[in-house]
Structure 1
Amino acid sequence: MTIDIDAVTGILREAADTAVLPRFRALAEHEVSEKSPGEIVTVADNEAEELISPRLRELLDVPVVGEEAASADPGLLRALRREPAAWLVDPVDGTRNFARGSTAFAVMAALVREGRTVASWILRPTEDRAYVSELGSGSWRDGTRLHREPAPADPAELRGAVLSRFLSPTARERVVSAAPAFAEVGPGAHCAGVDYPQLVEGDLDFVLFHRTLPWDHAPGSLLLTEAGGVALRPEGDPYRPDDERVGLLNAADGTAWRTVRSLLLA
Structure 2
Amino acid sequence: MESLDIAALANLLQEAAETEILPRFRNLGTDDVRMKSEAIDLVTEADEAAERVIRARVEALMPEAVFIGEEAVAADPGLLGKIEDAELAVIVDPIDGTFNYAAGLPLFGVMLSVVRKGETVAGLIYDPMGNDWLLAEKGSGAWLCRPDGQQEQMAVAPSVPLSQMVGIAAVTYMEREAKRQTLANLADVRLFTSYRCSAHEYRAFAAGHLHFLQYRKLMPWDHLAGTLISAEAGAYVRKLDRTAYRPYDFEGGILVASDEASWNELREKIFNV
TM-score range, shorter chain: over 0.9
Which residue of 67, 71, 83 maps to 1:68? Answer: 71
2:50 matched residue in structure 1: 48
Amino acid at match of 1:68: E
- Is the partner of 2:84 in helix, strand or coil? helix
Q: Which moved more, 1:167-176 or 1:16-25?
A: 167-176
Amino acid at match of 1:78: G
Q: Gaps (5+ residues) in structure 2?
A: 146-150
CA distance in structure 1 between the partners assigned to 2:192 and 2:181 by the alignment: 13
CA distance in structure 2 between the partners assigned to 1:176 and 1:63 by the alignment: 39
Contact 2:166–2:192 (Cα < 8 Å) also in 1: yes
Contact 2:109–2:199 (Cα < 8 Å) also in 1: yes
- Is the partner of 1:126 in helix, strand or coil? coil
Following superposition, the deviation at residue 65 of structure 1 comes to: 0.4
1:173 matched residue in structure 2: 180
1:125-159, Cα deviation, whole Å (9 max, x unpaired): 0011210110011110012111224221x111111
Q: Gaps (5+ residues) in structure 1?
A: none
Q: Does 1:116 align with 2:124?
A: no
- Is the partner of 2:92 in helix, strand or coil? strand
1:232 matched residue in structure 2: 238
CA distance in structure 2 between the partners assigned to 1:163 and 1:138 by the alignment: 26
1:185 matched residue in structure 2: 192
Following superposition, the deviation at residue 33 of structure 1 comes to: 0.8
Cα-Cα RMSD:
1.1
Following superposition, the deviation at residue 84 of structure 1 comes to: 1.2
Q: TM-score, normalised by structure 1?
A: 0.96
Q: How many residues align?
A: 264
1:25 matched residue in structure 2: 26
1:212-259, Cα deviation, whole Å (9 max, x unpaired): 100000010001001100221011112111112231111111111111
Q: Does 1:150 align with 2:158?
A: yes
CA distance in structure 2 between the partners assigned to 1:176 and 1:109 by the alignment: 31
Following superposition, the deviation at residue 7 of structure 1 comes to: 0.5
Following superposition, the deviation at residue 37 of structure 1 comes to: 2.7
Q: Does 1:100 align with 2:72?
A: no
Amino acid at match of 1:216: D
Amino acid at match of 2:32: E
Following superposition, the deviation at residue 111 of structure 1 comes to: 0.3
2:148 matched residue in structure 1: none
> Quick one: percent identity of the two aligned structures?
34
- Is the partner of 2:89 in helix, strand or coil? strand
Contact 1:162–1:207 (Cα < 8 Å) also in 2: yes
Q: TM-score, normalised by structure 2?
A: 0.94
1:5 matched residue in structure 2: 6
Q: Does 1:138 align with 2:141?
A: yes
Q: Does 1:37 align with 2:44?
A: no
Q: Does 1:164 align with 2:171?
A: yes
Contact 1:3–1:59 (Cα < 8 Å) also in 2: no
Contact 1:200–1:252 (Cα < 8 Å) also in 2: no
Contact 1:13–1:125 (Cα < 8 Å) also in 2: yes
Amino acid at match of 1:95: T
